[in-house]
Amino acid sequence: MSGRSGVDGVPYHAPSDAPAPKPARAEITVYSKPDCHLCEEAMATLRRLQDELEFTLRELDIGRDEALHRAYFERIPVVALDGEELFDYHVDEALVRERLESRR
């Protein structure tokens, strides 16, 4: 078999025309608790955006974890994008769009 050799005898591979891999799907996490009307509003807003902006949405009940409860009790809902906290109390739709669209 006669293949082209590159530098130092390493086989040469022509550049691929395949598209670059897409970045991993973004994940938005909402730290919340039951009977929290602001949490319900935040989740409703994010669910409206989810199909359009293609992100995974998780809701974590801070009451199920003592460390989360201590960290977020007075600030819920707290919304984080890939682990980075973006909002307390209310979702800024324009900022969510900006941050997710910049990942494309």
14 lies in some domain: no
Using alpha carbons, select from 91, 88, 68 the residue that is nearest to residue 77. Answer: 88
Q: Which domain holds residue 78?
A: 24-101
The token pair at 74 is: 């007075």
- Which residue type occupies 82? D
Domain count, the chain: 1
Using alpha carbons, select from 69, 51, 56, 1 the residue that is nearest to residue 24. Answer: 56
Query: From first to last of its 104 residues, what are the pLDDT tens digits of the chain?
Result: 555 555 566 665 555 565 655 568 999 999 999 999 999 999 999 999 999 999 999 999 999 999 999 999 999 999 999 999 999 999 999 999 999 988 77
11 lies in some domain: no
9 lies in some domain: no
Q: What are phi and psi of 90, to 5 degrees?
A: -135, 150
60 lies in some domain: yes
CATH code at 36?
3.40.30.10
pLDDT given for residue 79 in this prediction: 98
